[in-house]
Amino acid sequence: MVPGPGRQKELAVSDIFREVEEDVRRERLEKFWKAYGVWVIAAAMLVLAGVGGFEVWQRHEAAERMKASDAFSAAQRISDPSQAAPAFAKIADAKGGYGLIAKLSQANALYASGHPLDAITLYKDVAAADSGEIGAVARLRAAWALSSSAPRADLEKLLAPLDTPTGAWRAMAHEILAFSDYRAAKVKQAAAAYHALAEDAQAPDSLRVRARAMADFLDKGAGSDSGFVPPPPPPPATAPAK
């Protein structure tokens, strides 16, 4: 079916308008490109460079983590703690979790090799740097290392972040404080603390077993003042020789 003259005229006019609109859009695009083309290209290059740089950074980070993992595994295989400590120290500055775990392991090795003061310093550094599980373990080990010598008030301050009503580490912190009381000859106070720990349903089973054993030990009189051994009598006097 051939369109009539009127319809043909409408199609011709619409074609003209379409061509004009395309010319206008083309002209605007050319003007825009002349004015901002360089910036568009620069922006595109920056985006591509950013994507490429991010991928390079990701590969670098993955390689560093792998290197730290291999070094950490090698240090763990060292049986002599005096040699393991410097091996862990080389990884202690690694980014992410390996650095903290290496520093904690370095502290363990130092303590085992007879350097408790250096170990305690590292334990406290890790505890200050991490509020999670690694920091909690470091805080507990520092407190145990100090439990025989530090005042109870110092231990309470060190363990305060763990001694919360619903904290997972609360019972472990209380065990250290109970041991501190025992070392300070506060037998009744220590026994009461151990009895409470033995009945604490939230405490780990192994801790409850230890607490019950210590409570029984103290109930039977261990740790109390049992007097002293009298000095031996003086030797009998001998008559002077004639």
Model confidence over 125-169: pLDDT tens digits? 999 999 899 999 999 999 999 999 999 999 999 999 999 988 899
- Contact between 134 and 97 under an 8 Å Cβ cutoff? The reply is yes
Domain boundaries, the chain: 7-130, 147-220
- Contact between 176 and 147 under an 8 Å Cβ cutoff? The reply is yes
- The answer on pLDDT for 109 being more than 90 is yes
> What is the number of helices (H) and of strands (E) in the chain?
9, 0
pLDDT band, residue 98 (cuts 50/70/90)? confident
Question: Which residues have CB under 8 Å from 84's CB, separation 6+?
Answer: 75, 76, 78, 105, 106, 109
Q: What is the pLDDT of residues 51-89, one digit of tens each?
A: 555 455 456 455 556 666 666 677 778 888 889 888 888
Instruction: Find how far residue 206's CA is from the centre of its chain.
Output: 24
> What pLDDT score does 191 carry?
95
- Residue in this structure with the two tokens 């983590």, named with its chain if needed: 65
pLDDT band, residue 92 (cuts 50/70/90)? confident
pLDDT band, residue 94 (cuts 50/70/90)? low
